[in-house]
Structure 1
């Protein structure tokens, strides 16, 4: 089966598929994030009777994916887990997600969904390497919209083999809030931050970071590299990637990678002491 990372031979790499969907290769592990495979012009539901139309196509189909070890799902909205994913993904795949989403996925036949309360961890080993998944703070919105929005989680991925560790942060659809400071304090040395942007708005309230908030979070966490995703894909996205680019340039934030759908970013594997 093809590897799915666009010909890259690096031990670790990320392929941007579109929206918040990425394919992660971490040594022997293959992980898919927030699977969104509907086509341009199709509609998805984002809750409470609200729908939005896709403006882009995914860079690959589910049939073109390699054999997966797991899916990482930040929350259960139609632009993160759509009807194509529900129909075509292997129901035996572990899906690491919020307890809210895991319960709903169980009812839809995804029996291996794993509920991840905040700061819970899950680890596995394969071919001498270890992967640890940690659920991190995230909040879909502030104020009253935040009360009715579904729970969201960020994710920390630690890929380790003797003498080396790569640390990835997946923001999920969060807005800025005080609990994100816990990530800075408890999870130093982030190598790559995958940032969900787009400035999605419902009833005038942000439910994902716009360009300014995305830059603010990078200044808080200071990852070595950052990959913006979840932008320009849907009609509800009000903050284009260009706004984030302007903020990054104005503040002189280093390490931001501009990766188009279908492109693969190789990730260096730092030499670090491992447990």
Structure 2
């Protein structure tokens, strides 16, 4: 199996698997076109960097995959410019809202699903610990696999919980995309994974290749590519972790 991942920006990627291209969590607005993230100390507009590819890039996709509906994962530009007939795969909690935005072919994945030869397993996540998780709403990850039994785990905006550790222990995915920016709200509440969580993942599943994203684009993310790269080097994880630049393609 060949997997190509083009990291676009933040949590947005183009994933090509079995010859099908899936747009993940589209934030397609240009620099400064989105408001500040609420409940943070950061009052500047987002994103902080421009889109690295032209919008025409997204005319040639086969499906859209959504982990949750925060505006840095499905923004106003994506709602406006994406073809409304494109299949959208999402969690059941997000199904009706995506339909209300005019998308005509929306399929929710409760536990498992199948599309164009690709099997999907939904992994329920937590966007934070404790009661803050309820406030931030539901978020999911997805495992994509093919008949060759190699898999890609899109973790989503999740903190590292025991159920997610169990997923890594059970499935040992070939590749995982981890939002590892240590995003924080007020009172230093961390709502995504951190560099230390990458170390834990690789202790559980040493054969997994980690694609670390969600950095240097949204103001409440406190881990930069530079800081993560230093951590990865110091902890001798260079062979296991890729930190792509915006627009960069990675091949497996």
TM more than 0.5? yes
1:198 is matched with: 181
Unaligned runs of 5+ in 2: none
1:148 equivalent to 2:135? Answer yes
Aligned-residue offset at 1:192: 0.9
Greater shift in the superposed pair: 69-78 or 49-58: 49-58
Give the drift of 1:223: 4.2
2:247 corresponds to which residue?
A: 262
- In 1, the alpha carbon distance for the partners of 2:135 and 2:241 equals 33
Moved more, 56-65 or 76-85: 56-65
SS at match of 1:146: helix
What is the TM-score when the length of structure 2 is the normalising length?
A: 0.89
> What secondary structure sits across from 1:206 in the alignment?
coil
TM-score when normalising by structure 1: 0.82
**Inter-partner Cα distance in structure 1 for 2:7 and 2:221:** 18
Q: CA RMSD in A?
A: 2.3
- Number of aligned residues: 248
Provide the C-alpha distance between the structure 2 equivalents of 1:193 and 1:101, rounded to a whole number of angstroms: 23
Are positions 1:167 and 2:151 aligned together? Answer: yes
Aligned-residue offset at 1:47: 6.3
Residue of structure 2 in register with 1:221 after alignment: 205
From the superposition, tell whether residues 92 and 45 of structure 1 become closer, same or farther in structure 2 (CA, over 3 Å).
farther
Distance change in 2, residues 1:155/1:219 (3 Å):
same
State yes or no: 1:69 paired with 2:52: no
* Partner-residue secondary structure (3-state), 2:8: strand
1:167 Cα shift?
A: 1.0
In structure 2, the partner of 1:3 is: none
Matches within 5 A, 1:106-121: 106-117=99-110, 120-121=111-112
Cα distance in 2 for partners of 1:224, 1:255 equals 7
Deviations 1:43-69 (A, max 9, x none): 246567997521112222332235322
Change (3 A) 1:32 1:223: farther
What is the alpha-carbon distance in structure 1 between the residues aligned to residue 24 and residue 243 of structure 2? 18
- The answer (yes or no) to whether the contact 1:193–1:225 under 8 Å persists in 2 is yes
1:99 aligned onto 2:92: yes
Flag structure 1 segments of 5+ consecutive residues without an equivalent.
Answer: 1-9, 268-275
